[in-house]
Amino acid sequence: MRNVCLRVLMFATAILTALPGYSEQLLDRIVAVANEDVVTANELARRTAMVRQQYQNNPQVLPPADQLRRQILDAMILERLQLQLARSINLNVTDSQVNQAINNLARQQNMTLEQFVNALQNSGDDYASVRQQIRNEITIGQVRRQFVGRNINVSDGEVDRYLRTLSGQSLQETRFELLYRRFDLEDREIAETLKAQLDSGASLADDDQSRNLGPRQVDELPSIFRTVVPVLDQGESVLIEQGGALHLAQLADKVERQAVQVRQYRIRHILIQPNAILNDEQAQALLNELRQQIEQGADMAELANQYTDDLGTRGTGGDLGWRQADEFASNFAQQVRSMPEGEVSPVFQTNFGFHILRQEGERTEDIALDVLRDQVRDTLGERKYNESLQRWLVELRAQSFVEVRL
């Protein structure tokens, strides 16, 4: 029945818009079909106006009008498709969930609920429309958790593998005791014979020409062994050819601390993700403009609340709290470690999008290894979720009937 009604509506719209002198201002028209839903010209115009309002202080970062409309329309189509999935599984967001979200927004702005509603109305926003948009955002978040989040699992093995990497071993302050012997290339047969003996249970300590390098953290090991030693079991050996010589090493001992000292940083950031509205160049241009405003005295927290695409820190001024650098993507971690306190970083890119950050504090903390494992699990899970979400959104649109009529 819904399909019949939709076809009737589309047919009537086509006839009326074909009449001579008929104005689009007198009758809304369909600009896109997404399965059983439609997007109208008025809806697109309202959403476009909202975007222009959001970027009113930086209009130069927006694409030309036609391109902007198409990009916003693509985002609205994807939104419709996700809401359809919610209806198909009878996923309903309650009024109390919406009320809680609105109260949280009001508190984040240091307002009462009444003040927040008045501020919306004074800015020309309709409170009922805002409630519906918030309901939609909560719904879409739950749909993503249902279809993407439930499939995200980080196994103990994945945590173990991360903790055996350079970054993971640095976090644990693990110390490795290596037995080592160097061979000239012409002595390859001797080296390989000795390695075979080690693989059968012998110890390199019994070889008169070997030496014990002593307990060292991973970054203190000879560079040729740094990537391989963390994955060796005790007693296991490795033979590496480099620099015109053969290098034989055996892991004699590995000592892990039961509690570790970690360097933590207080970070504030702004994330802009290229999307249906902003491409890579426009996202970078916006961040460069925001960075310039901050250097000229603008409040970074206020700009983060207005612009950041990191929903977890929107409303908290982009504050990531106290975190270890290794919890972040490698490019982000590099910026965290390199920035002096109080300075804003240049614009840089990670697999999440483009960022600027400010390091606002530094400290050393003792944490237990089980806490460290939980932090690694959360970090790996977040990376998996974001990668899977992007693939899922592409697949969702590809599997749907979409017709654009701009």
- Does 361 share its domain with 325? yes
Contact 181, 250 (CB under 8 A): no
CATH of the domain at 337: 3.10.50.40
Rg, the chain, Cα only: 29
DSSP 250: E
H/E element, 81? helix 65-88
H/E element, 46? helix 41-54
Strands (DSSP E) found in 99-151: none
* Full domain range(s) for residue 182: 175-255
Per-residue confidence (pLDDT) for residue 40, from 0 to 100: 94
Give yes or no for residue 278 having a pLDDT over 90. no
Give yes or no for residue 370 having a pLDDT over 80. no
What is the average per-residue pLDDT within 397-405? 93
Total tally of structural domains belonging to the chain: 2
- Does 264 share its domain with 359? yes
Tokens (6 digits) for 115: 């003040």
Indicate the pLDDT class of residue 160, thresholds 50, 70 and 90: confident
Residues 372 and 374: their CA atoms lie apart, in Å, by: 5
390 part of a folded domain: no
Tokens (6 digits) for 212: 């014990």
- Does 240 share its domain with 266? no
Strands (DSSP E) found in 229-308: 237-242, 245-255, 259-272
Give yes or no for residue 314 having a pLDDT over 90. no
- Does 318 share its domain with 295? yes
89 part of a folded domain: no
114 part of a folded domain: no
237 part of a folded domain: yes
User: Across the strands, what pairs with 181?
Assistant: 248
- Does 268 share its domain with 319? yes
Indicate the pLDDT class of residue 193, thresholds 50, 70 and 90: very high
Surface-to-core class of residue 186, CB atoms within 10 Å of its CB (0-12 exposed, 13-18 middle, 19+ buried): exposed
Indicate the pLDDT class of residue 104, thresholds 50, 70 and 90: confident
Percent of the chain predicted with pLDDT > 70: 91
- Does 276 share its domain with 361? yes
Residues 304 and 309: their CA atoms lie apart, in Å, by: 9
What is the average per-residue pLDDT within 101-123? 83
The 3-state DSSP class for residue 44 equals helix
Per-residue confidence (pLDDT) for residue 179, from 0 to 100: 95
What is the average per-residue pLDDT within 116-143? 87
- Does 307 share its domain with 237? no
Residues 325 and 353: their CA atoms lie apart, in Å, by: 18
Per-residue confidence (pLDDT) for residue 240, from 0 to 100: 95
Give yes or no for residue 96 having a pLDDT over 50. yes
250 part of a folded domain: yes
Q: Per residue in 198-232, pLDDT tens?
A: 999 999 999 999 999 998 988 889 999 988 888 88
H/E element, 377? helix 369-398
Q: Per residue in 1-29, pLDDT tens?
A: 333 333 333 333 333 334 443 344 446 89
336 part of a folded domain: yes
Tokens (6 digits) for 340: 């002096």
65 part of a folded domain: no
Of the residues 255, 289, 305, the one at which a domain ends? 255
Of the residues 255, 275, 300, the one at which a domain ends? 255
Percent of the chain predicted with pLDDT > 90: 50
Give yes or no for residue 170 having a pLDDT over 80. no
- Does 285 share its domain with 361? yes
- Does 231 share its domain with 279? no
The 3-state DSSP class for residue 178 equals strand
Surface-to-core class of residue 258, CB atoms within 10 Å of its CB (0-12 exposed, 13-18 middle, 19+ buried): exposed
How confident is the prediction for the chain on average, in pLDDT? 85
Of the residues 334, 351, 366, the one at which a domain ends? 366
- Does 182 share its domain with 268? no
236 part of a folded domain: yes
For residue 255, which amino acid is it? V
Residues 232 and 234: their CA atoms lie apart, in Å, by: 7
Residues in the chain: 406
Residues 131 and 148: their CA atoms lie apart, in Å, by: 25
Torsion of CA 115, 116, 119, 120, to 10 degrees: -150
- Does 361 share its domain with 282? yes
Per-residue confidence (pLDDT) for residue 235, from 0 to 100: 93
Kind of pairing between the strands at 259-272 and 211-217: unpaired
Contacts (Cβ under 8 Å, ≥6 apart) of 207: 181, 194
- Does 271 share its domain with 360? yes
Indicate the pLDDT class of residue 329, thresholds 50, 70 and 90: confident
Per-residue confidence (pLDDT) for residue 105, from 0 to 100: 81
